[in-house]
Homo-oligomer: A and B are copies of this chain.
């Protein structure tokens, strides 16, 4: 067997099948052991290769691509700690159900666990955080082995996208010499089944007719119901759930990541300010549901979580096409493993329809007055964090994408980014809610979800500054709204903020960095805005200008906590007025 010929044929077959399996993007981190795979990939006209030196950012970049496309993106690195740097993004992919194909090069068996350089134990490297791990055979060119490598590829891609989608890891041992033979013009010509070895038809879970009938009957008995929608990858879902809401007369509590707040849907049943009014007993006392139907991840709002916990005797249907157990407070009475769109469709066939109710009216009324109260109270004079999100729903263009950092920004988005008729794709890394890799995720997503706007805090920006290299190297367009409160703003809302001792050191953690330096290094445009006029102008300017634009909004953590308290107080006042009138 000729080593180079086997290496080339085996890898070329894998790469050709990768393209047939629908994978278009590979993020490659340079290294020696991965040489043959990288060189063969670079030859395939159907693959976009993105080179990224920092594997942590590289993996998040791929995660962003996969989030935006719904298709697996692949990552490739050499052996050693390079592969360990993928771990944070893999964990995020698992919990946010994003398909990812992790390809790691490895030393061959005889060089493992014997002190060879850059050799670590890569078998099951990511443990339970990948859906499937496969240790690949050494390259061979026998027909059976070409079949093998192609079927593993097709299978890996299908495992990654099957609900719940997630990461898959293939570990490739390669022996030296590592240079493939690229002289062959027919590198990717496949000897059999030229259009792909095996295509995988992935069905969706659905229920039997009797199940739909039974559940429909239960729901029709209860007028007091709510639908709760968290983050969900199901594209068919948004349209269907509003039809279901209409039919049942149930309000839809829509997390910003449900996409229901930023779509051309009518939105008559959408409740988007629950995070504000569910903070108050008076409101909660008249909104108690008898039935809850939950779709997707748990919503961001802590107030909503507490409200659901308080109404623990309600029937709760948790619908999950991915067959997980998304029920942190152990509230579900029925766990329903059914594709979310099919669930809505199925029920709609068996529901007579209702004309709303006093119960749903109260929800929608409460929602309206909470928004009006906040709208009236918002600080339009000085820069502050809450109004940023209110402004963005005005300023972002139709069709834009908005990537939001964890910690405070996602919560502020939840509180202050209300239903708009513009189609705005809202994204965040809510699998594990980390502050890592956010910039890279947004940059990756920007390839397929332009124009991309990213709002994040300074610690999150700091964590993934290396991610900005992709913007420079590939001239990507990204507008960053950097909310710089010099540290961890969310801790000002937690109990430890009362303890002055060590607070700044352990939790506030001010870094005191002037990020204009780093933006300049990456060839971006930095502007630190002083007021709302400048903020608006910068956003408008950014629309015209290509490349990386960073708009810094400097805020104060304590003032921000006070600002939020003032807004909640305004909501509370309006609720009390409403309650008095109702009496």
Contact = CB atoms under 8 A, between A and B. Distances in A.
Interface stretch (A116-124, A307-315, A357-365, A547-555): A116-124
Residues of A in contact with B, size category? 35 or more
A455 interface: no
A141 to B, nearest CB: 21
A210 interface: no
Contacts of A465: 465-466
Contacts of A95: 120
A450 interface: no
A129 interface: yes
B506 A39 contact: yes
A518 B250 CA distance: 54
A85 B436 contact: yes
Interface in A298-349: 298, 324-328, 330
Interface in A419-466: 430, 432-434, 436-437, 459, 462-463, 465-466
A105 to B, nearest CB: 13
Contact of A473 (B35, B511, B514): B511
A494 interface: yes
A509 B53 contact: yes
A115 B325 contact: yes
Contact of A115 (B84, B298, B509): B298
Contacts of A80: 91, 432-434
A392 interface: no
B92 A88 contact: no
A132 interface: no
B466 A463 contact: yes
A125 interface: yes
Given A30-B507, A53-B459, A511-B473, A432 B38 contact: no
Interface string A533-557: 0000000000000000000000000
Nearest to A503: B39
Nearest to A127: B127
A28 interface: yes
A501 interface: yes
A495 B325 contact: no
Interface string A497-522: 00101100111010111110110111
Given A51-B509, A114-B326, 17 more contacts: A30-B506, A39-B496, A53-B463, A56-B56, A81-B437, A84-B87, A84-B90, A85-B87, A85-B88, A87-B88, A116-B298, A117-B328, A119-B432, A121-B129, A124-B127, A179-B495, A515-B521
